[in-house]
Amino acid sequence: MMYTNNGYNQYREQSVLTAGPGELVLMLYDGCLKQVRLARLAINENMAAERNSALQKAQEIVSELINTLDFDFELSDSLYALYDYFLNELITANVENSTTRLDSIESLLVELRDTWEQMVKQQKSGSGSAASL
């Protein structure tokens, strides 16, 4: 099993190393969504340590999304405000042990992720540009 995990980790690492900027942001959205969903499951199963771990990972991912922002683009200010909202909601969800705050975050993340995926596809096909945000 260790060999399989090692191979999987090498594959993931290679995926990150060969991804373009747009694809990296997409990976961050996917990772954040995964952690929000894991946190919801942990809350529903009363698993405090797992909830805390998932929400902390989600916060780290959102912090990384903030670090990717290029404030030369107008949209970055709006994304910063949204990411800041995510951070506050993730912290509150952890403190309150409640899925309610995760619901709005998840729906917004899905919208952002899907929009970003379309931008990446357009950039790859040459029919648009997905600027680094």
Q: How many CB atoms lie within 10 A of CB 126?
A: 7
pLDDT digits (tens, 9 = 90+) for 34-78: 999 999 999 999 999 999 999 999 999 999 999 999 999 999 999
CA distances from 42 to 32, 36, 38, 56, 104 (A): 15, 10, 6, 13, 17
CB 19 within 8 A of CB 127: no
Angle, in degrees to the nearest 10, between helices 100-125 and 21-44: 160
pTM score, whole prediction = 0.81
Q: Which domains does the chain have, with CATH numbers?
A: 2-125 (1.20.120.340)
pLDDT tens for 68-118 read 999 999 999 999 999 999 999 999 999 999 999 999 999 999 999 999 999
User: Quick one: tokens of 77?
Assistant: 């200010």
